[in-house]
Amino acid sequence: MDDEADIAVVGAGAAGLMAAIWAGRTLGASGRVIALDGAKKIGAKILVAGGGRCNVTHHTVDEGQYAGSTPHAIRKVLRRFDVPDTVAFFKALGVELKREKTGKIFPVTDDANTVLSALLGAAADAGVELRHPWRVDRVAREGEVFVVRGEGGGAAIRAGRVIIAAGGKALPRSGSDGAGYAMVRELGHSVTPRVFPALVPLVLGKGHWITGLSGISAEVTLELRGGTGKRIKAFTNSMLCTHFGISGPAAMDMSRYLAGARFEDPAAGLVVNWLPGESGDSVDAMLVGLGRTTPSKWLRERGLPERLSEAICAAAGANPAAPGHGLPRDLRRALARCVTQMPLPVVGDRGFTYAEVTAGGVPLSEVDLDTMESRVCRGLHLCGEILDVDGRIGGFNFQWAWASGHLAGRGAADGQKIAR
Ligand SMILES: Cc1cc2nc3c(=O)[nH]c(=O)nc-3n(C[C@H](O)[C@H](O)[C@H](O)COP(=O)(O)OP(=O)(O)OC[C@H]3O[C@@H](n4cnc5c(N)ncnc54)[C@H](O)[C@@H]3O)c2cc1C
């Protein structure tokens, strides 16, 4: 026999749990909220986040840290449940948060389990029935209700309202494999023409010298340039050399902008400045005065690791061990260029398997931003990564999940109360 609920939540990741908690709290004891998740293990992404410490949010969150649907729409949602709200929400659940020097906010326990346990406890306290593994195959509107059907048949759940929080396609083994897009399309929504990995490591051409420096990192400025050389975007942060190419915050933050630019302009590419703040001219002027100091030593003195310093010199064709006063003018200039604007031949990225988030999704123009209710299918609410919003590394993506999940949960419960 079919089961009945006031609200069914599809997906119990960060956004879905938040939505279920607020739906349960808002409906009160007389309401019934059922949250369904296809994964055997709930909250896999919360547990792996921030290297197992869960970077819950960031001290300074604004729409400028996100891409996707319009900044104005993103701001509207973020303002309705801001960082102090997130901190207060977790504090009330007994989770103390701390801010680190970078502005990132973590639980004081440095343990993501603290965050997941608190969310699961809050969901139970709000009366949410959590069912998993319960993979949703289809959500259909049948008259006044929604019918949620699971993979392989069996009993369906009839619900007055449905919140779809099935995430995107990043880290598919966690349970988020893009199935949500087919569900929302069937209910009348569109999905952006491009859905692609974001916050993903980048792959360099085979045999590039950087792939021989795996494990070495440096603070750099990574710049995205169009085919004409026009500067499109830049990030100054740590970049990690890996056996396949580049990773670390600078490369991850840049990945969605590079992929996005290349859809329109295949000649767009990355340029790295190994000494942020310096220009070709300023480095050239400093190299002129090197005297007996080798260029490699000079780079080390500026904070670059030894092997990286040597490799940069070699890439410019300069002998890293030869005294600087012997550098011919052309070589000196070539080295200054290599140090400050070295092109990185990125051939692709590591795909959804290694991506932290998904770029693209349901446009925010298709939801009411006060309640996250669909404008094309009444009674349906959407939140989290399934929407066309992706943030930088640093806690911004969870903040989006908390904010949009909170609005969806409250919005669905308020709507359902009126309908009852
Ligand atoms: C390795 C890694 C580290 C990260 N670290 C951070 C960090 O420190 N800070 C930060 O802000 N962000 C981080 N992120 C990003 C963050 O995890 C996501 O932005 C966030 O989890 C999105 O929440 P969501 O609930 O929208 O989607 P998800 O977390 O993807 O949850 C969607 C849920 O829906 C379920 N589901 C999908 N399809 C179905 C279906 N058909 N039926 C039933 N259930 C279904 C899935 O099993 C899943 O549980 C990280 C991501 C990764 C991959």
For ligand 1, the distance from its centroid to the CA atom of residue 389, given in whole angstroms, is 13
Nearest CA to ligand 1 atom 9: 395
Q: Closest Cα partner for 402 from 165, 86, 46?
A: 86
CB 65 within 8 A of CB 391: yes
CB 400 within 8 A of CB 10: no
Question: What atom of ligand 1 comes closest to residue 39's alpha carbon?
Answer: 47
Q: Is the pLDDT of residue 61 over 80?
A: yes
For ligand 1, the distance from its centroid to the CA atom of residue 187, given in whole angstroms, is 22
Segment 371-381 shows an average pLDDT of: 98
Question: What atom of ligand 1 comes closest to residue 390's alpha carbon?
Answer: 19
Question: What atom of ligand 1 comes closest to residue 150's alpha carbon?
Answer: 42
Q: Is the pLDDT of residue 335 over 70?
A: yes
Mean pLDDT of the chain: 96
Q: What is the dihedral of CA 271, 204, 214, 332, to 10 degrees?
A: -40
At the topology level, CATH places domain 3-196+355-419 in FAD/NAD(P)-binding domain (3.50.50)
The finding on whether 385 has its CB within 6 A of some atom of ligand 1 is: yes
Q: Where are the CATH 3.50.50.60 domain residues in the chain?
A: 3-196+355-419
Q: Is the pLDDT of residue 420 over 90?
A: no
Residue 418: per-residue pLDDT: 84
Nearest CA to ligand 1 atom 51: 356
The finding on whether 395 has its CB within 6 A of some atom of ligand 1 is: yes
Segment 395-405 shows an average pLDDT of: 98
Residue 152: per-residue pLDDT: 67
Q: What percent of the chain has pLDDT over 70?
A: 100
Residue 419: per-residue pLDDT: 78
The finding on whether 249 has its CB within 6 A of some atom of ligand 1 is: no
Rounded Cα distance, 378 and 187, in Å = 10
The finding on whether 314 has its CB within 6 A of some atom of ligand 1 is: no
Residue 389: per-residue pLDDT: 98
The finding on whether 403 has its CB within 6 A of some atom of ligand 1 is: no
pLDDT (tens digit per residue) in 123-180: 999 999 999 999 999 999 999 999 999 976 778 999 999 999 999 999 999 999 999 9
Residue 214: per-residue pLDDT: 97
Nearest CA to ligand 1 atom 29: 13
Give the CA distances from residue 115 to residues 10, 218, 265, in Å, rounded to whole numbers and listed in that order.
20, 31, 42
Residue 136: per-residue pLDDT: 97
Segment 323-327 shows an average pLDDT of: 88
pLDDT band at 417 (very low <50, low <70, confident <90, very high): confident
Rounded Cα distance, 162 and 316, in Å = 59
The finding on whether 382 has its CB within 6 A of some atom of ligand 1 is: no
